Amino acid sequence: MKIVIAPDSFKECLSASAAAQAMARGVLDACSDAVLDLCPMADGGEGTVEAMVAATGGRLMTADVFDPLGKPIRAYWGLLGETSGALLPGELGLLGAAVAGEANGHGGSVAVIEMAAASGLHLVPPEFRDPRRTTSFGTGQLIRAALDEGATKIILGIGGSATVDGGAGAAQALGVTLLDRRGQLMICGLGGGALAEIGRVDLSGLDGRLAGVAIHIACDVRNPLTGPNGAAAVYGPQKGATPEVVALLDSGLSHWAKILREQLGKDVEFVPGAGAAGGLGAGLLAICGGQLESGLGVVAKTVGLKQRLAGASLVLTGEGRLDRSSRYGKTAVGVAELARVAGATVICLPGQATDDAPNDLFDGVYPLTDTQTPPRTAMLRATDLLTQRAAEATRTFVKKK
């Protein structure tokens, strides 16, 4: 019997690959002859690199880059492989190898990057958060590191940024020259506060390798670049912007959009998703020819989830919290939709399930929390509880067959 295990991470608790391993132990306890396929999942946000590397048997990589304030840090990214993560009956001892094998198949051609690894809000102490200063330069450096390793396709998750620079900093890291209104070279690592001073964009130094690379931007927000629903107005305050700074940033983004439109012929200001990650979406669309895509969709396609579900009798998924919002693009629901198309039974093992959770989308829901296990306890015992719930769910499924 084939069983696919495809959870998201349990935030502040377990990575997607650790959750998959815990579930696998429970499944094999209940059904020792099961053939498992471990396929850790993500939606383009935190944990995407680790999940996709684990799901494909790829490799974690590191690069020395600049953080949002221009300080040197070492950031991680990934090269994908093509192993399936499958386990034959009785191969419990191979769990680690199944989710962390050597890269193969892709030949290093597909890279996965999380913007937050280089330009994330968590890298800036609260007292220093100021999107007039913070830059996406480090994200551009990660893209360049992927090019150095021969990547011809880059998947970029762009959640959790500290920046509102319209992607100008990342563009500079990729070789773009920005000149001010007087024709003077602008400082590298441009922040959002300097966008209004840009006078000209010079693409002559843009890394030529980008012409042969497809950049898939994993993004699940639909905000435009500017205006009341734009990057500055909606996300600026959480990155340290006062109302006055929000107005300054929005004006700067409008000017940046005008420059891109008039000098590059790229009208990206009101493209849905252009305002994601402080406008990085807009910058990559205009300068690198990137494509904005559903985070879960691009992850599922890249790890071959649809193909891996073929022939599965049972699918186990899960995430930290199953609630009303889960209906709208969350990982567990996306996995369930594909599992149903494949004709498989699908069971969700969330950390918590609220009263308004979409239980109807699953054949069973087994939360870690219950009357005897409050949320805090569930977090502390998450690994053991996931194993127990997976065993319980599998036994119930086997009895019904």
Per residue in 264-296, pLDDT tens?
A: 999 999 999 999 999 999 999 999 999 999 999
Give me the CATH code for the 48-85+102-295 domain, please. 3.90.1510.10
The pLDDT of residue 53 is 94
Confidence grade of residue 92 (pLDDT, cut at 50, 70, 90): very low
pLDDT at 95 over 50: no
pLDDT at 102 over 50: no
Query: Phi then psi for 184, rounded to 5 degrees?
Result: -90, 145
Q: What is the mean pLDDT of the chain?
A: 92
CB atoms inside a 10 Å sphere around CB 370: 12
The pLDDT of residue 83 is 55
Give Cβ neighbours of residue 102 (< 8 Å, ≥ 6 apart): 57, 59, 81
The pLDDT of residue 88 is 45
Give Cβ neighbours of residue 334 (< 8 Å, ≥ 6 apart): 43, 296, 297, 300
Sign of torsion over alpha carbons 364, 367, 370, 373: positive
Whether 32 and 98 have beta carbons less than 8 Å apart is answered as no
Calpha distance 279→50 (Å, rounded): 25
Confidence grade of residue 399 (pLDDT, cut at 50, 70, 90): very high
Whether 160 and 120 have beta carbons less than 8 Å apart is answered as yes
The pLDDT of residue 329 is 74
Q: What is the mean pLDDT of residues 364-384?
A: 92
Whether 140 and 169 have beta carbons less than 8 Å apart is answered as yes
Residues linked to residue 63 through DSSP beta bridges, in sequence order = 75
User: Can you give the pTM of this predicted structure?
Assistant: 0.86
Spell out the domain ranges in the chain: 2-38+313-400, 48-85+102-295
The burial of 40, by beta-carbon neighbours within 10 Å (0-12 exposed, 13-18 middle, 19 or more buried), is given as: buried
Per residue in 165-216, pLDDT tens?
A: 999 999 999 999 999 999 999 999 999 999 999 999 999 999 999 999 999 9
Structure tokens at 291: 């494509």
Calpha distance 193→178 (Å, rounded): 14
Residue with tokens 């600049």, as numbered in its chain:
66
pLDDT at 75 over 50: yes
Sign of torsion over alpha carbons 238, 241, 244, 249: negative
Calpha distance 380→173 (Å, rounded): 41
Q: Domain 2-38+313-400 is of which CATH architecture?
A: 3-Layer(aba) Sandwich (3.40)
Q: What is the mean pLDDT of residues 69-79?
A: 97
